[in-house]
């Protein structure tokens, strides 16, 4: 056995991981592993907690997508207590989700992903970062900082907190939106929509066109996809049926509370993160690059592959252009960056639609709940993929069991395959440099873990 | 001359790092003053050199170190010790670093309880032995705050800390100061609600229904949350969540405080003090459901939360 190349920490992602690339005696790649090193144990330590407190506990799973956990947990709580939140509460939950996601997608594209493309994948690490972006494109950087802050301010001014919210809970939300709050947010939201449109145009012209070669080669794998769609097949972030698509594009639809029939989780001794797989396909699980079994992807590329259409007109036009170029399902891994920006447009448009909805200011925003024993599966599309919160409660409404499958976890197997594909493609006869190792990381960053 | 800064996250969620990025327009003015030599969320500096050939984990020397997250595993501890060794002033950023934060709720359970649940008794998981590999860091016995492992110079609490305080603390250090802290005030000291020093009396209500308030009117027209019979940890929690201006964030959302900024002063006993505060407005502290966990929600390190004995002792 030859040497092991360790890339640690994986950077410009939102967690703790390292990659080990094992070379054989000739210096070619024998095997690779992406080790997920963090485990906090939420599934255990929420046992005994009151279900109505859960949305403000589990949001701490992720400081980048706290709103996704906050809402999935609220929905699981709705089901445990057997209540339906009033329509205005659902619209306010959706609105906050969209504002948070616009901020998240801007963060990912400009701060985390763009350095590889705008500064260049082989550039020295001391300039291949957000500070380099600020130097290279100061006007755009200024706008990104300003608009991300604006999105955070919308959340904070209305819902109290942008990070780790307390606004939503089983039965609805904590406060209604007044007319004056609505009109103030509307003005800001328009700025975000304009910038979303600018961003996708900028990226198509200056990034994706320039990197077509990398897109076609880096991290490419052919596996399945998962996402959430409405009854008429449109991409939805808050509610709908789950769609699990095979690599060939055929799919099964199912209700979120049936997830245990479709998804299993495999454990490997070398990672704290589990490996969800499509149990329903009956192939078991195999992390085999030439013949993967049970492996599917989540997050934006998966979502725009499984949906029949986007839910809003500008985003739909973008999807049509994307599909004309890359087909359905699209498999190139770096297209995650493109898909993310198509979703950015939908999130911004949907935000505007919700603000124009007369019902958004209806003061009826909370259904009173009574403790009872129950089970609830709350599912939303988090920025990083299908998020499943499955709770059981006792007759006092305290959590007895919780099972969580979070967005990025679905991508664990796929990221491992993309790492292996990239390493095998680029490292030959023992030759590698920091640029090549950064490209291995680019295959991971596409998934925005 | 820019100040060299190294940043790390341990047993954390990345919310503190997002709070740094949420500084807003001032961020662009601040960044050139700070020379980040290591910050995994933004910059690709690697522990073992850029091609991974180094033999030991190394973080570059820096004037200021910032660490978010608590200490959960052996690697967290090792990185924290390296940060302490390489930085002149070490900042604990956020509730996890200061007091354990939400992940320290795990201190109510043993490691075996947690691993058994995650890897063998989740309904979607194919049961398997605990992960065991040199690249998967072993858990320590509990989730610790940073000052249980190394000396900390400055603590910026909060979950997440408000960007105002991050700027304030860093600016103070840029000016050559070597310490910084928030004033010792309670959330109630900064909360504009109406207080009459009495509640409806008796049992504490769970959040099954919303607070009573007029959405068109400000918080100064809303009755104190404890006095509405709901549990609010404002009386025993350090103020500052809303930054330099503004009202407490959770109260702004018309929801009760759960204590994310931690105790008002070192050595305080928030649980004991909160029972006193409740009694003083006529509430019965014994009626708080899940009392131990809720009153220690963000402060489970420092031995505040421990596994209960297997057999509960009967009174």
Q: Does this complex have an ipTM over 0.90?
A: yes
Q: Is residue B310 pLDDT above 70, yes or no?
A: no
Q: Which of B174, B206, B226 is the last residue of a domain?
A: B174
Of B248, B263, B240, B255, the C-alpha closest to B192 is B248
Closest-CA residue in chain A for B254?
A: A174
User: Are B8 and B68 part of one and the same domain?
Assistant: yes
- CA–chain centroid gap for A421, Å, is 22
Which domain covers residue B288, as residue numbers?
Answer: 184-307
Tell me how far apart the alpha carbons of residues A64 and A403 are, in angstroms, rounded to a whole number.
Answer: 21
Geometric angle at alpha carbon A56, from B10 and B117, rounded to 5°: 65
Query: pLDDT class for B313, splitting at 50, 70, 90?
Result: low
> A-contacting residues of B 283-312, CB under 8 Å?
289-290, 293-294, 297
User: Are B155 and B265 part of one and the same domain?
Assistant: no
Closest-CA residue in chain B for A265?
A: B125
User: Are B23 and B166 part of one and the same domain?
Assistant: yes
Structural domain contains residue B314: no
> What would the 3-class secondary structure string for B135-157 be?
CCCCEEEEEECHHHCCCCCEEEC
Tell me how far apart the alpha carbons of residues B9 and A176 are, in angstroms, rounded to a whole number.
Answer: 36
How many distinct structural domains can be found in chain B?
Answer: 2
Query: pLDDT class for B76, splitting at 50, 70, 90?
Result: very high
3-class state of residue B62 by DSSP? strand
User: Are B165 and B198 part of one and the same domain?
Assistant: no
User: Are B13 and B76 part of one and the same domain?
Assistant: yes
Structural domain contains residue A440: no
User: Are B135 and B258 part of one and the same domain?
Assistant: no
Tell me how far apart the alpha carbons of residues B70 and B67 are, in angstroms, rounded to a whole number.
Answer: 9
Supply the pLDDT for residue B312: 55
User: Are B125 and B189 part of one and the same domain?
Assistant: no
The CA distance from B55 to the nearest CA of chain A, in Å, is 11
Structural domain contains residue B313: no
Query: pLDDT class for B29, splitting at 50, 70, 90?
Result: confident
Question: What phi and psi values does residue B166 have, to the nearest 5 degrees?
Answer: -65, -45
User: Are B134 and B248 part of one and the same domain?
Assistant: no
Decide if B158 touches A, using CB distance below 8 A.
no
Structural domain contains residue A349: yes
Contact B213, B193 (CB under 8 A): no
Q: Is residue B308 pLDDT above 70, yes or no?
A: yes
Residue A315, both tokens: 């985003």
- Domain with residue A363: its CATH number is 1.10.645.10
Q: What percent of chain B has pLDDT over 70?
A: 98
Say if the Cβ atoms of B45 and A363 lie within 8 Å.
no
Supply the pLDDT for residue B15: 97
Q: Which of B140, B155, B174 is the last residue of a domain?
A: B174
Q: What percent of chain A has pLDDT over 90?
A: 98
> B-contacting residues of A 303-362, CB under 8 Å?
none
User: Are B71 and B205 part of one and the same domain?
Assistant: no
Matching residue, tokens 């699990």: A244
Which domain covers residue A130, as residue numbers?
Answer: 84-220+333-368
In chain A, residues with a C-beta closer than 8 Å to the C-beta of B21 are 107, 111, 148
Structural domain contains residue A111: yes
In chain B, residues with a C-beta closer than 8 Å to the C-beta of A265 are 122, 124-126
Q: What percent of chain B has pLDDT over 90?
A: 88
Supply the pLDDT for residue A73: 98
User: Are B191 and B297 part of one and the same domain?
Assistant: yes
Say if the Cβ atoms of A60 and B139 lie within 8 Å.
no
Say if the Cβ atoms of A9 and B254 lie within 8 Å.
no
Structural domain contains residue B70: yes
Q: Is residue B213 pLDDT above 80, yes or no?
A: yes
Best of B102, B193, B211, B242 to mutate (most A CBs within 10 Å, chain A): B102
- Domain with residue B109: its CATH number is 3.40.50.700
Structural domain contains residue A298: no
How many distinct structural domains can be found in chain A?
Answer: 1
Tens-digit pLDDT profile for residues A387-410: 999 999 999 999 999 999 999 999
Structural domain contains residue B179: no
Supply the pLDDT for residue B31: 81
- State chain B's mean pLDDT as an integer: 95
Supply the pLDDT for residue A128: 94
User: Are B69 and B109 part of one and the same domain?
Assistant: yes
Average pLDDT over every residue of A157-180 = 97
Q: Which of B144, B174, B204 is the last residue of a domain?
A: B174
Structural domain contains residue B315: no
User: Are B116 and B199 part of one and the same domain?
Assistant: no
Helix or strand run (H / E) with residue A254: strand A251-254
Structural domain contains residue A100: yes
Decide if B56 touches A, using CB distance below 8 A.
no
- State chain A's mean pLDDT as an integer: 97
Contact A283, B146 (CB under 8 A): no
């Amino acid at each position: 056995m030859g040497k092991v190349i360790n890339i640690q920490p994986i950077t410009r992602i939102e967690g703790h991981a390292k990659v080990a690339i094992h070379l054989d005696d000739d210096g070619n790649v024998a095997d690779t592993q992406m080790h997920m090193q963090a485990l906090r144990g939420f599934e255990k330590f929420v046992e005994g907690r009151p279900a109505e407190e859960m949305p403000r506990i589990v949001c701490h799973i992720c400081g980048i997508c706290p709103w996704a956990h906050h809402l999935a947990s609220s929905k699981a709580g709705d089901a445990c207590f057997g209540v339906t939140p009033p329509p205005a509460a659902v619209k306010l939950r959706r609105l906050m989700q969209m504002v948070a996601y616009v901020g998240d997608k801007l963060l990912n594209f400009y701060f985390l992903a763009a350095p590889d493309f705008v500064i260049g994948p082989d550039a020295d690490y001391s300039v291949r970062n957000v500070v380099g972006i600020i130097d290279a494109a100061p006007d755009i950087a200024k706008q990104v900082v300003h608009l991300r802050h604006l999105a955070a301010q919308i959340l904070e001014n209305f819902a109290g907190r942008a990070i780790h919210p307390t606004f939503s809970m089983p039965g609805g939300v904590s406060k209604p939106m007044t007319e004056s709050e609505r009109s103030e947010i509307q003005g800001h939201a328009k700025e975000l929509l304009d910038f979303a449109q600018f961003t996708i145009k900028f990226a198509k012209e200056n990034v994706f066109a320039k990197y077509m070669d990398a897109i076609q080669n880096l991290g490419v794998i052919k596996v399945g996809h998962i996402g959430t769609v409405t009854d008429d097949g449109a991409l939805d972030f808050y509610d709908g049926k789950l769609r699990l698509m095979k690599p060939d594009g055929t799919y099964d639809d199912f209700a979120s509370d049936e997830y245990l029939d479709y998804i299993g989780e495999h454990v490997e001794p070398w990672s704290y993160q589990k490996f969800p797989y499509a149990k329903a396909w009956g192939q078991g699980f195999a992390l085999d690059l030439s013949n993967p079994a049970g492996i599917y992807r989540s997050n934006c590329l998966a979502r725009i592959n499984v949906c029949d259409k986007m839910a809003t007109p500008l985003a739909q036009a973008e999807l049509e252009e994307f599909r004309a170029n890359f087909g359905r399902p699209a498999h190139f891994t770096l297209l995650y960056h493109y898909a993310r920006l198509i979703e950015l447009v939908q999130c911004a448009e949907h935000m505007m639609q919700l603000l124009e909805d007369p019902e958004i200011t209806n003061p009826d925003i909370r259904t009173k709940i009574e403790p009872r024993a129950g089970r609830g599966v709350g599912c939303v599309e988090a920025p990083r993929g299908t998020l499943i919160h499955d709770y059981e409660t006792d007759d006092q409404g305290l959590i007895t069991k919780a099972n969580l499958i979070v967005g990025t976890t679905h991508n664990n197997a796929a990221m491992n395959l993309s790492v292996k594909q990239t390493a095998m493609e680029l490292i030959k006869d023992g030759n590698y440099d920091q640029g090549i190792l950064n490209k291995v990381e680019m295959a991971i960053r596409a998934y925005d873990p | 001359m820019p100040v060299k800064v190294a940043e790390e996250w341990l047993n954390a969620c990345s919310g503190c790092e997002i709070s740094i990025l949420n500084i807003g327009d001032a961020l662009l003015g601040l960044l050139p003053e700070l020379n980040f030599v290591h910050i995994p969320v933004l910059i690709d500096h690697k522990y073992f050199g850029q091609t991974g050939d180094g033999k030991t984990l190394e973080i570059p020397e820096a004037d200021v170190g910032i660490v978010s997250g608590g200490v959960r595993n052996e690697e967290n501890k090792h990185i924290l010790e390296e940060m302490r060794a390489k930085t002149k002033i070490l900042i604990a950023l956020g509730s996890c670093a200061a007091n354990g934060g939400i992940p320290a709720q795990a201190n109510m359970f043993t490691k075996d309880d947690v691993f058994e649940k995650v890897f063998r008794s989740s309904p979607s998981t194919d049961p398997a032995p605990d992960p065991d590999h040199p690249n998967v860091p072993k858990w320590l016995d509990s989730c610790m705050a940073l000052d249980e492992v190394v000396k900390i110079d400055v603590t910026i609490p909060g979950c997440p800390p408000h960007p105002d305080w991050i700027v304030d603390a860093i600016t103070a250090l840029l000016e050559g100061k070597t310490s910084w802290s928030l004033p010792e005030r309670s959330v109630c000291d900064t909360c504009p609600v109406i207080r009459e020093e009495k509640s409806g009396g008796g049992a504490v209500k769970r959040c099954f229904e919303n607070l009573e308030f007029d959405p068109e009117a400000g918080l100064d027209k809303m009755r104190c949350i404890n006095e509405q019979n709901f549990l609010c940890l404002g009386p025993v929690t350090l103020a500052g969540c809303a930054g330099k201006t503004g009202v407490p964030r959770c109260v702004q959302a018309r929801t009760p405080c759960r204590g994310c900024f931690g105790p008002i002063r070192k050595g305080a006993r928030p649980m004991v003090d909160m029972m006193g505060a409740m009694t003083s407005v006529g509430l019965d502290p014994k009626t708080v459901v899940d009392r131990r966990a809720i009153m220690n929600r963000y402060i489970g390190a420092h031995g505040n939360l421990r596994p209960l004995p297997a057999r509960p002792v009967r009174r």
